[in-house]
A and B are shown apart, each in its own frame.
Chain A
Amino acid sequence: MKDEAMKAIFSHTIRRMTLSTKVIFFALLVILPWIMVLFLRLLIAAGSIKVSLGGVTLYSVLILTDVMSFMVPVLTLYFGTSLIADDVEAGTLPYLFGRPVRRAKIYLTRYTAMVFVLTVGTWLSVGGSYVLAMAGSRNFHRELGTLLGDLVVAGLSVLVYGALFSLLGLVLRKPLFWSFLIGFGWENMVGWLPGFLKRFTLLFHLHTLLPNPPGPTGIFQNMMASSESRFAAVVFLGVYLALFLLTACFVIQRREAPATEKGGG
């Protein structure tokens, strides 16, 4: 990164994400899958879980249900909607928009910094879950390809969900409410419906790309089972990503950022 303004925005965004109280919430979500793995392994060891649940299955279930369907949407929703909205709320946006920097550049740099931090966190979560789930298993090394694939998909999901929620944070007055509705209503409900509609969710395409989804053993798994190719999933996600980012750049370029206070002249 040669541009000094971009470097400044990048480091400031990272600082804001990691040196504030937000980091506690972030850390809790990162370690949540680890706690779940340990808890499930304890239950398995104690014989409380009757079904056979190997390390790979345990890990894969967690990646799909916790990391992809919960952790990544929650983290990207939390940090994405506040990417610019925090400055609006704090009244600091005029300092950014009053400087000789293209607004699209401000947004894209902030977005990149957010994706960087969240990807590192998500990778820690996925990697830790793998180690904890597979520890002691003979398949530990054999499933490293699965881990690698999961890391790629996790990074991709941060990328697209981050773009979606940062766009919603820019265009909506109450971004948290609507983002929750989209992130957990639309994404999780429509993603399970049969037919073409689920292609309008991100989760469906991300699920397609997961290297080792849990076996289709029940009705829900059958419904969720993807019928699209990985190539199509990548294309869909690429189009969504470009659409979200371009729309956000368009919106921010036209956005006003007055420095006003109640009763001011």
Chain B
Amino acid sequence: MERIAILRMGEVLLVTIQVEMSDELAMRLQDDLSQAIERTHAKGVLIDISALEVVDSFIGRMIADISGVAGILDAVTVLVGMQPAVAITLVELGLSLPGVATALNVERGMELLRGGLGREEHHELPAR
């Protein structure tokens, strides 16, 4: 059975979607990712969808769900590399993915995560 690899880079989990997303694959990813966050105590999740050419409403919602799940498990999700056609499709489908952070590419996404994580720690430290 096909699986999407989840790579760990420090506090961040990197998910690169290189194959065409099927519904099962998306559901499996949500499962694997939530377990991986729990196991690794990841603070951030970076999902790279630059190779994703086609989305439908289901995949769109799965992406939103995955970041929602990650958020509840206290990991910030950043979606990077969305193709123009995909963005237009999602907007036309009415899926504006509110609450999901986005970035142009992996590099920017990492910057965003580092900045975000750094700020969070900074905010939390005085309170403890």
A binds B: no
